[in-house]
Chain A
Amino acid sequence: MLDLIDLEKYYARGTVDETHLFKDFNLTVPDGQFLAIIGSNGSGKTSLLNAICGDIPIDGGSIILDGVDITKQKNFERYASTGRVFQDPAAGTCPSMTILENLSIAENKGKPYNLGRGVSHNRVDYYRSLLEPLGLGLENKLNAKVESLSGGQRQALALLVSTMVPLKLLILDEHTAALDPKTQQITMDLTNQLVEEKDLTTVMVTHNLRHALKYGDRLIMLHEGDIILDKEGAEKEALVLEDIINMFNEISIEYGN
């Protein structure tokens, strides 16, 4: 379970450009929930993810993951139990290393990176069995460098490697935004399948409203650091695309855009 309590975040604090993005921001994501976050640019979606992962400092409040206060932990310490897939398909894997090497290095997360062999060849069959269901043929090119793969293939691989070890939290940071519509669909289906299979507590930021509606058990909409829409379960099922588009339009009118 992820708990954000009274989060405070300023940008350019103490200058004329000061923005007080999060004021007493509270959010709880229960175990196993798949939360989708939408919102316009500057609404605080990415800041929220970065605050959870420790990639930006916060100015107040606390972040609790499974009962552990992680507010003071450095980013790499938090990633011990958190996985993240980025918008950039190149960000989730090492381009100059092979698929096999990438899978090996990812599976070792949480264990020491010592002088043991990087690739354990008795794991190859297991890796093949992970890659096969993707239907991308990656199981037949374990020794191909990742830089030779397409964006979609890389993102599928990034999803796979980020969920290879047990996680308390999975962060999806607009992870389909750089892909073509067909690949987006495939990636989202894979995401959904992995999240359900492993019962992962997941926070997904997306600009794709259809994905936000179709996938996940809860949807929130952010605006200037506030949650202006929060629907789950049956209420979320009842939402249609027009509702959300109307909300986006209202926001725009309100702010004179």
Chain B
Amino acid sequence: MNAILGALETGLIYGIMALGVYITYRILDFPDLTVDGSFPLGGAISASLLLAGFNPILVLLISFIAGCLAGIVTGIIHVKLKVRNLIAGIIVMTGLYTINLRIAGRSNLPLRLDTSTIFRNNFLFEMIPDTLVPYLPLIVIVFLSLGAKFILDWYLGTRSGYLLRAVGDNDLLVTVLAKDKGTVKIIGLAIANGLVAFAGSIFVQRYRAFDISLGVGTVVIGLASVIVGLAIARKIPLIKVTSAVIIGSILYRMCLALAIRAGLPASDMKLITALLLLVILVISSERIKKAKPEVSPGRIKKAVPGA
């Protein structure tokens, strides 16, 4: 039961991160490796600020904004300096490693016993009846991840969100709509990495420690969740992709929990994480080309001007 509860909690936290990966990988068609740096960025900021006595909710917001900035840097490197998207992400991810170390001051930074977080503060303890206390973290996490999902759904339905969807779909159209496609991409990367750092902050607030290796494999977990989520969304017609991505993240966690329960040591986690993505990729049809539906067979490939 505890294992399931744990997997549910982590799955929901990583689900918020996966929403960010969904924006870059699926909507923007941008394989963004920045997330391996922006997830621990949110974590490092949260650990140091919480220890300094900052309000936990303010810490969540600051983490989100820091993530946005990381995304903007990747975007500027790609759009303005014309560096390939994969490389732009690698550059920022690598740079963030040092920045995260600087922010945290050392490679492992646990919270003190009395440090308040969004999960442990006087306000919450007064609000919640005693019987619910064991489920308190889950309730907070459900609230945050659903909140993130609904805000993202809302945003994707705005005019600005339409432009974001259009730029990954057909960036030529964005140009013809008299908008700079580069700016739209930067906005998308900012929102995506903001969500990822937000998730990193929740993670550290929940598990009460920052570790520099926190971010390793974030993108792998994110991709796996998105791909599982897309598969779910194809099978269940009325489900929103954003909901499916969060469910994908929970399922992915459950699989990992099963592997650990089957007797594999916890130190094998990253290998299992990687292999599980491979298995998911092979089962789904996302291997060579993305599962974007085929464009009409008569489509003419043409050098797109100004692309």
Query: Contact residues of A with B, CB < 8 Å?
Result: 46, 50, 53-56, 74-77, 79-80, 83-84, 86-97, 101, 104-106, 108-110, 112-119, 147, 150-151, 154, 162, 177-178
> In the assembly, what is the distance between CA of A92 and CA of B172, in Å?
8
Task: Please list the 4 inter-chain residue pairs (A to B) with the smallest Cβ-Cβ separation, ordered nearest first.
Answer: A55-B305, A55-B306, A80-B178, A118-B162
> How far does the Cβ of B62 sit from chain A's closest Cβ, in whole Å?
22
Select which of B170, B176, B298 is within 8 A of A79 by beta carbon.
Answer: B176
Q: Which residue of B lies closest to A74 (CB)?
A: B180
Q: Is the CB of A178 within 8 A of B298?
A: yes
Q: Which residues of B contact A162 (CB under 8 A)?
A: 176
> In the assembly, what is the distance between CA of A96 and CA of B230, in Å?
14
Q: Is the CB of B302 within 8 A of A105?
A: no
The B38-52 residues at the A interface (CB cut-off 8 A) are none
> In the assembly, what is the distance between CA of A253 and CA of B176, in Å?
40
Q: Which residues of A contact B170 (CB under 8 A)?
A: 90-91, 93-95
> How far does the Cβ of A175 sit from chain B's closest Cβ, in whole Å?
12
The B249-307 residues at the A interface (CB cut-off 8 A) are 292-293, 295-296, 298-300, 302, 304-306
Q: Is the CB of B305 within 8 A of A113?
A: no
Q: Which residue of A lies closest to B163 (CB)?
A: A113
Q: Is the CB of A150 within 8 A of B178?
A: no
> In the assembly, what is the distance between CA of A109 and CA of B177, in Å?
5
Q: Is the CB of A151 within 8 A of B296?
A: yes
Q: Which residues of A contact B173 (CB under 8 A)?
A: 91-94
Known: A113-B160, A118-B159. A94 touches B166 (CB 8 A): yes
Q: Which of B162, B165, B176, B298 has the most CB of A within 10 A?
A: B176
Select which of B159, B160, B179, B304 is within 8 A of A76 by beta carbon.
Answer: B179
> In the assembly, what is the distance between CA of A97 and CA of B166, in Å?
8
Known: A55-B305, A117-B157. A91 touches B162 (CB 8 A): no
Select which of B158, B298, B305 is within 8 A of A117 by beta carbon.
Answer: B158
**Can you give 6 A-B contacts (C-beta < 8 A)?**
A91-B304, A95-B295, A109-B177, A115-B155, A118-B159, A147-B296
Known: A88-B302, A113-B163. A76 touches B178 (CB 8 A): yes
Does B175 interact with chain A (Cβ within 8 Å)?
yes
> In the assembly, what is the distance between CA of A120 and CA of B274, in Å?
44
Q: Is the CB of B165 within 8 A of A94?
A: yes
> How far does the Cβ of A159 sit from chain B's closest Cβ, in whole Å?
13
Q: Which of B157, B163, B292, B306 has the most CB of A within 10 A?
A: B306
Known: A90-B295, A90-B296, A94-B169. A76 touches B162 (CB 8 A): no
Known: A54-B306, A83-B176, A109-B177. A104 touches B162 (CB 8 A): yes
Q: Which residue of B lies closest to A109 (CB)?
A: B177
Q: Which residue of A lies closest to B164 (CB)?
A: A113
Q: Is the CB of A113 within 8 A of B300?
A: no
Q: Which residue of B lies closest to A77 (CB)?
A: B178
Does B78 interact with chain A (Cβ within 8 Å)?
no
Q: Which residues of A contact B304 (CB under 8 A)?
A: 91
Query: Contact residues of B with A, CB < 8 Å?
Result: 155, 157-163, 165-166, 169-170, 172-181, 292-293, 295-296, 298-300, 302, 304-306
Known: A109-B177, A150-B296. A91 touches B161 (CB 8 A): no
Q: Which residues of B contact A93 (CB under 8 A)?
A: 170, 173
Q: Give 18 new A-B contacts, CB below 8 A, not counting A74-B180, A147-B295, A150-B296.
A: A53-B305, A56-B306, A76-B175, A89-B296, A92-B173, A94-B166, A97-B166, A105-B162, A105-B163, A113-B160, A114-B158, A114-B159, A115-B155, A115-B160, A118-B159, A151-B298, A154-B296, A162-B176
Q: Is the CB of A118 within 8 A of B300?
A: no
Q: Which residues of B contact A95 (CB under 8 A)?
A: 169-170, 293, 295
Q: Which residue of A lies closest to B299 (CB)?
A: A90
> In the assembly, what is the distance between CA of A91 and CA of B173, in Å?
7
Q: Which residues of A contact B300 (CB under 8 A)?
A: 87-88, 177-178
Known: A88-B299, A90-B295, A91-B173. A115 touches B158 (CB 8 A): yes
Q: Is the CB of B178 within 8 A of A87?
A: no
Q: Is the CB of B292 within 8 A of A96?
A: yes
> How far does the Cβ of B289 sit from chain A's closest Cβ, in whole Å?
14
Q: Which residues of A contact B302 (CB under 8 A)?
A: 86-88
Q: Is the CB of A97 within 8 A of B162?
A: yes
> How far does the Cβ of B301 sit from chain A's closest Cβ, in whole Å?
8
> How far does the Cβ of B240 sit from chain A's closest Cβ, in whole Å?
14
> How far does the Cβ of B58 sit from chain A's closest Cβ, in whole Å?
23
Q: Is the CB of B175 within 8 A of A113?
A: no
Known: A91-B304, A97-B165. A75 touches B175 (CB 8 A): yes
Known: A76-B179, A88-B302, A93-B170. A114 touches B160 (CB 8 A): yes
> How far does the Cβ of B186 sit from chain A's closest Cβ, in whole Å?
14
Q: Which residues of B contact A74 (CB under 8 A)?
A: 180
Select which of B169, B179, B293 is within 8 A of A113 by beta carbon.
Answer: B179
Q: Which residues of A contact B306 (CB under 8 A)?
A: 50, 53-56, 75
> In the assembly, what is the distance between CA of A41 and CA of B157, in Å?
43
Q: Which residue of A lies closest to B183 (CB)?
A: A76
Q: Which residues of B contact A108 (CB under 8 A)?
A: 159, 177
